[in-house]
Amino acid sequence: MGNVIEIRDLHVKAKTDSGRVVEIIKGVDLSVADGEIVALIGESGSGKTTIALTLLGYTRPGCAIAGGKVVVAGRDTVTMSEAEKRALRGTEVAYVPQSAAAAFNPSKTIMDQVVEVAKIHHLMPMPEARRKAVDLFEALALPEPETIGRRYPHQVSGGQLQRLSAAMALIGDPKVMVFDEPTTALDVTTQIEVLRAFKSVMRERGMAGSTSPTISPSSPRSPIGSSF
Ligand SMILES: Nc1ncnc2c1ncn2[C@@H]1O[C@H](COP(=O)(O)OP(=O)(O)O)[C@@H](O)[C@H]1O
Ligand SMILES: [Mg+2]
């Protein structure tokens, strides 16, 4: 089994409001084997999201990669062209954000948004994508999987929308799923329900993943990995 993720000596810098450049990621190493589920744990602001986003070849405005390698499925996102990054996102790596509400467009139906990756990347004909979406809704234990896609984002609960954002991420069969604190906005019972749905769908697909990416702030070179 190979490693689907290899992060080596990653450094990320950020420009502060006063114009000073600070290093926010200081030499992180992380390996994730095919099929492995790794959780990163660390306090707020320790760099979890910053690391997670580099897997998609992305840094937030004001931030930039200052060194190191981020190899995903054999290719380094640090040296990739924008076109290569676009091809990577959704098909090799997909991201489930903290706030599903912010990830969905309120004026489009859920189905239209879930199948969008398949459409943009021409992965399959649209009827097949819609069929696959319904299968994913079922696997994620969503109610009325055949018809829930006709609703708009405000017509489902927070926990359901979070599971629907996982369906959106899974439609392109990515090799890596990044879950960035996908349940922090939910109440505790809903968190359990949503995590259970994620876990079962990931197992079913034998996928690698990273959830709530985190590093221990005092020891950035040794992220705490655990299976959940
Ligand atoms: N554009 C920026 N300018 C300055 N600092 C930033 C910028 N973006 C992020 N940071 C800082 O980087 C650190 C890591 O942020 P983040 O990865 O979001 O942490 P986490 O996800 O662990 O809460 C934070 O301390 C944050 O203040
Ligand atoms: Mg974060």
CATH code for the domain of 20: 3.40.50.300
Distance between CA atoms of 196 and 148, rounded to whole angstroms? 20
For the residues 3-11, what does the mean pLDDT come to?
A: 96
Name the band, by pLDDT with cuts 50, 70 and 90, for residue 142: very high
Does residue 224 sit within a domain?
Answer: no
CA angle 32, 44, 189 (to 5 degrees): 80
Exposure class string for 92-111: b at 16+ Cβ within 10 A, else e: bbbbbbbbbeebbeeeebbb
Q: Of 53, 65, 56, give the one whose Cα is nearest residue 86.
A: 56
Rounded to the nearest angstrom, the distance between the alpha carbon of 60 and the centre of ligand 1 is: 9
Residue 41, ligand 1, Cβ within 6 A = no
Domain containing 162 equals: 3-211
Count: domains in the chain = 1
pTM: 0.85
Does residue 216 sit within a domain?
Answer: no
Residue 48, ligand 1, Cβ within 6 A = yes
Does residue 218 sit within a domain?
Answer: no
Per-residue confidence (pLDDT) for residue 209, from 0 to 100: 57
Distance between CA atoms of 154 and 29, rounded to whole angstroms? 40
Does residue 227 sit within a domain?
Answer: no
SS3 116: helix
Rounded to the nearest angstrom, the distance between the alpha carbon of 201 and the centre of ligand 2 is: 23
